[in-house]
Structure 1
Amino acid sequence: MPNIASILKNEISRVARKEVRTEIETLKKASAAHRASIAELRRQLSALEKELRRAAKGATRAVAAADAAEEEITGTKRRFSATRLATHRSKLGLSAASYGQLVGVSGQTIYHWEQGKARPRAAQLESLAKVRGLGAREISERLSAQ
């Protein structure tokens, strides 16, 4: 005759496995649903990033078109060189703040232009061209007037 304790132990194990299996099934379903939603969110993110890149590309084209239109209005296209700006400023013996006053920008902006961290806009290029056309006396007169 079989031992009641072993039969009871086997039955408890069987029922426990059955309960665990049902719990695991619900967790598997939830996990699959979460994976599907994550995949969908990744697809949406990818589509939005692509759309953002496309919009940014269009915006830069619009800015370039506006710059081209501004160049047509002014008539001449100005070129900018950071090293030439630094050389001109040092040749005049001016601080970046003083040079910035002449151009109409801050000294920090002049430093950024010289280091190549930023580029002047078309209107600022015109101001730079006017300052380059001035002599040392005219520059000192303008600085003393300001």
Structure 2
Amino acid sequence: MPNIASILKAEISRVARKEVRAEIEALKRTSTQHRSSIAALRRQVSALEKELRRTAKGAGRRASTQEPAAEEEGLKRRFSAKRLAAHRVKLGISAAAYGKLVGVSGQTIYHWEQGKARPRAAQLESLASVRNLGAREASALLDAG
């Protein structure tokens, strides 16, 4: 005759496994739903970021076409690293001092002269205004500033 305690223990284990399995299935379904909603939210965020970049890019283009009056007249600014270096030497000032006149750092002027970087449109406008200065005018501006 089988032991009642072992039969009772086996039955309790079976019922417990059945209950745990039912709870785990419910948790799995909930976890799957959460993961799919997270994936959908990530796709939505990605799409919104892409749209934001596109909008910002378009706004930047509109702003850049509205800012410079020279471009409206059809005049585009050109940049030459050699001419920038030659003008700075002609003025007899350091890259840091030339940078103060333009509104950038001396390191930026150095990079422009070396051809490692190129100035942006707004910086080209300030370079154009400095290009019209002579040595006396440049030193007067530096002493005043």
TM-score of the aligned structures, taking structure 1 as reference length? 0.72
- What is the rounded CA distance, in whole Å, between the counterparts of 1:52 and 1:88 in structure 2? 41
Structure 1 gaps of 5+ residues are none
1:105 CA displacement:
2.4
1:93 CA displacement:
3.3
- What is the rounded CA distance, in whole Å, between the counterparts of 2:56 and 2:11 in structure 1? 67
- What is the rounded CA distance, in whole Å, between the counterparts of 2:12 and 2:119 in structure 1? 75
- With over 3 angstroms needed to count, the CA separation of the structure-2 counterparts of 1:64 and 1:119, relative to structure 1, is closer
Alignment of 1:1-146 (within 5 A): 1-67=1-67, 69-73=69-73, 76-101=75-100, 103-106=101-104, 108=105, 110-115=106-111, 116=117, 118-119=119-120, 121=122, 122-131=124-133, 134=134, 139-140=135-136, 142-144=138-140, 146=144
Find the residue that maps to 1:77 and give its secondary structure.
coil
1:82 CA displacement:
3.5
Letter in 2 for 1:78: R
- With over 3 angstroms needed to count, the CA separation of the structure-2 counterparts of 1:66 and 1:113, relative to structure 1, is farther
- With over 3 angstroms needed to count, the CA separation of the structure-2 counterparts of 1:18 and 1:85, relative to structure 1, is same
Find the residue that maps to 1:94 and give its secondary structure.
coil
Letter in 2 for 1:24: I
1:43 CA displacement:
2.0
TM-score of the aligned structures, taking structure 2 as reference length? 0.72
